[in-house]
Structure 1
């Protein structure tokens, strides 16, 4: 953590896609830290079907995006920003970024990636427009010399004291969006829990019923799935925090094409919670402790009795501070002298 940055009194243009309300948490925290923040959705499209198209054909929306950002530039052109802070940058084109640099020549441009470079079509071509680039993916930072490694954060709702009562409503829980092979793994964990006589709580989110029916046709593990197995409405961060608090262990299943740690993983630091994860990369992090974290093979799942029975080992205070949202903002917007 580089730290030492104070954004008090700074004016920030913040451009981020909608991701489970975290964009609002970041904005609110920057304002609590004393910054003046203008926030706009980084994406000109918000419908689930359009977002799905965006992943494969981002250029399809270039004209719409250009008009969208022209309106933003017109509204903001007279503001003197200290930072333009962009998350992901999958819709901002090079042409639009050039316009931003013409209008804001003295502003520091910061980019944060919570997805791997290979999953954001064309993003590496845009790196030249940013003074500061950070990523949650340690492997990406080894490939791109100008990219700084900065894992994600936990928000204030996920900061809780270590429980001492050892009485939990659920032995294992999962809360997250269903993608890739997640549902297949969850089904296997449910079977394991039944055999081990463990309680399992899952909240499986799908962006739309269209995606549910699409998966019914294209994914074998959805053959016997029912609509009632999923929620088509996002859970609030407080609802998820409540489920996690009542869980002995939390299950994390990262996308098979990602090595960066999910938000849920980092939130378990703040919650003082044991974690079962498919992401072996976690062993490279400073908070890894085999007593607290069990890495499983997504192709051969094995949940050990002894891991479930041992208590959580508290981490050093500086680790809790390092992964807080405040420290994350400080690192991303670290002043460039």
Structure 2
């Protein structure tokens, strides 16, 4: 798995701030970058002080934006500033080091001051946005752009919408699993884990999934994570034994164990972007079929109708025959050159444009 063109090079990975880190996406990323041969340092930003909006400058700006500009979003910028002050202190650990690469995930969530300091530590600094750009962070990203040699987004719409940012396109990726070959048994007919999506009927994913589940008679596992902003009381919850509501986060490792032991996984697109979630690449890696409403997947070279069924979840009753057929057919293996293109090894070589790599493209 070691890559000779990357082996021995030093990389500093900076992950998006104020996220729940324990057993999250950053851990398999770090482990895989090390397996490739990179010498990896990771900016440790767990357990920051709780945001309470006590900084006087941010408090005054928040009042001004709320009352004068009728803009209630500055509080998010104040929160961002709070965590970035914490991150700047953490960054001082590396002040005497020099890296070949600095990789910043979700750069729109970091301040220009932080990104400037981070970029000074590396020969090449690249940013990657694997979620939609928050509009109230756009001004900050514009100011930070000059510190990046390369800036990427997984969403073609954002690239077209903000041409001044000069972003290039790049998908998400899959990570390597030493136990991949041991999972030939698919115990679950269907698996889904994800957020509720919102409390309005048209936002609730549990309502969509309840209709979909009518097409499955085998063993299924559907978990809806209820966050503090989208809690349901007992009367609002569906009385369906096939749908479980959970409050604690499921670790990445646990989610992968379920994914690789499933025949079909569900992906529901977030309304504000068209980029492909990690589920597409995880399912590709474990050869698991996928049902999704993200029709842009047809524009990728790995799309096969035998492996990925595109539906409109709001009209799922119109897809009964297609779903029945999809369940019955086997997974179609991908050519090795396509499969390998979406590995984290090829992904990081795309990010920094290092050596011999397969360019990832979108044909839409």
Equivalent residues in 2 for 1:18-57 (5 A)?
18=19, 21-41=24-44, 45=48, 57=75
1:130 Cα deviation after fit: 0.6
CA offsets 1:111-135 (integer angstroms, 9 cap, x no match): 0110123567225412222101112
Can you give the 5+ residue segments of structure 1 that lack an aligned partner in the other structure?
none
Can you give the 5+ residue segments of structure 2 that lack an aligned partner in the other structure?
54-71, 356-364
3-state secondary structure, aligned to 2:315: coil
1: CA distance, partners of 2:202 / 2:217: 22
> Alpha carbons of 1:108 and 1:27: their partners in 2 closer, same or farther (altered >3 Å)?
same
> Alpha carbons of 1:241 and 1:273: their partners in 2 closer, same or farther (altered >3 Å)?
same
2:243 pairs with 1:240? no
3-state secondary structure, aligned to 1:83: strand
C-alpha contact (below 8 Å) 1:158/1:271 kept by paired residues:
no
CA offsets 1:192-219 (integer angstroms, 9 cap, x no match): 4336534421133345xx34xx4337xx
Residue 61 (structure 1) aligns with: 79
* 1:223 alignment partner, one of 230, 236, 244: 236
Residue 112 (structure 1) aligns with: 128
3-state secondary structure, aligned to 1:38: strand
3-state secondary structure, aligned to 2:137: coil
**Structure 2-normalised TM-score?**
0.75
1: CA distance, partners of 2:235 / 2:117: 46
3-state secondary structure, aligned to 1:251: strand
- Which structure has the higher relative contact order (CA within 8 Å, separation 6+)? 1
The Cα RMSD (Å) is 3.6
CA offsets 1:134-153 (integer angstroms, 9 cap, x no match): 12113333443732211111
> Alpha carbons of 1:269 and 1:32: their partners in 2 closer, same or farther (altered >3 Å)?
same
3-state secondary structure, aligned to 1:117: coil
* 1:156 alignment partner, one of 162, 173, 176: 176
C-alpha contact (below 8 Å) 2:107/2:141 kept by paired residues:
no
Deviates more, 1:241-250 or 1:251-260: 241-250
**Structure 1-normalised TM-score?**
0.80
Residue 194 (structure 1) aligns with: 214
2:114 pairs with 1:96? yes
| Aligned residue pair count | 319
Residue 8 (structure 1) aligns with: 7
1: CA distance, partners of 2:314 / 2:89: 48
